[in-house]
Amino acid sequence: MKIILIGAPGSGKGTQAKYLTEKYHIPQIATGDLLRAAVAAQTPLGRQAKTIMDAGQLVPNDIVIGMIRERIARPDADQGFVLDGFPRNIAQAEALDNILDKLGKPIDAVLQFDVDAEMLIQRMIGRLTCISCGALFNLFTQPPAIDDKCDECGGTLHHRTDDSETIIERRLHIFETLTQPLSDYYKHKGVLHILEAHGDVTEVTKRVKSALRGLRPKRTPVKPMLAPVTPLPKSAKPAVTHTRIETPQPKIRPRKKIKTLSGNTTVKKLEIKKELPEVIRKKSIKAAARKKTAAAKSAALTEELDRELDEKLKDLEKELQQTRAQLKEASDAEKALIKAEKEKDTALKKALHEETAKLKKEKK
């Protein structure tokens, strides 16, 4: 199932995305996560994105689309995916359609979450995220049992620095001007489902179930492509089929019986020409030559395949080493990020509690 979630920041896309990934056993793909992972792993696209983000600019469409293309091509996305936060504009939507058309996997459904602006601001100001497992909480609608502690894993909860009222209003304005036209785009394609995202999580999940009930994954024919050569272990050799060439046996005509005649009749003996052995000899030579030629071709093909497999295995080993190095770098970067977030949390706790107390007083 290929699903796109669109909606303003704080509309509940992330929460429903987790439900959909568990229901259909498909990955959640968020551009923010892809960018952070690519930057941490220092991939070519990640290095380009980091340079642009360090300059305070938005990451261009071609870089974001390149990351999405790479992520969709992974094996865990063969049965579908949930796109959270992408596409954000018509240009990205058209580029995504081109990618999926080539793969023969068109979008099955687009879920749009509608919430009024006041509720969005309240949700985002009170939003808390677990650093360890990513679980979401809210001081107003879904508070944790213990302050600053995750109910799921006991990890530390933190408040995002960009969840301030000024930044939220700017993000909502960007959504209205750029992302909202996607609603008309997907409505024209007949895959849009508009959901009321107010109420608790269970109510919104019921609306999501109702929207997707009866849908079947769509597929379109894919242009024929050459099948990739599957790498084999070094010890394994390609199977070679040997064809046995049977030497045709010529038909031997029976000798004619010579009738014995009485009297002085002279009987002329039949002369049998020695052509039969010559025919057999020539055909045997041709069959042996064909067999030898086939064996030589098979040996040459086997040798060539062995050489190609050795080269591919060497390339795979190099890629594996590079991947391991990138994973180590990503792990180190993640540890550094967690350490930095913990330091930020200490500074934000005091401000968050003061803001909470202020809001509660205003409500009273």
β-bridge partners, 111? 5, 193
- Looking at the chain, the number of H-run helices and the number of E-run strands are 10, 8
Say which residues have a Cβ less than 8 Å from residue 293's Cβ, sequence separation at least 6: none
Cα–Cα dist 309/230, whole Å: 9
Structure tokens given for 131: 């650093």
| Token pair of 360 as six digits | 């509660």
Between CA 324 and CA 329, with CA 325 as vertex, the angle to 5 degrees is 115
| Nearest 10 degrees: Cα torsion 261, 265, 266, 269 | -20
Query: Of 239, 235, 228, 245, whose CA–CA distance to 301 is shortest?
Result: 239
277-311 burial: b if 16+ Cβ within 10 Å, else e: eeeeeeeeeeeeeeeeeeeeeeeeeeeeeeeebee
**Sheet strands side by side (includes 136-138):** 136-138, 127-130, 157-158
CA distance 22 to 19: 5
Catalytic residues: 13, 88, 127, 160, 171
Instruction: Provide the token pair at 137.
Output: 């909480």
Would you give the distance in Å from CA 38 to the centre of its chain?
15
Taking alpha carbons only, the member of 326, 341, 343, 244 closest to residue 287 is 244
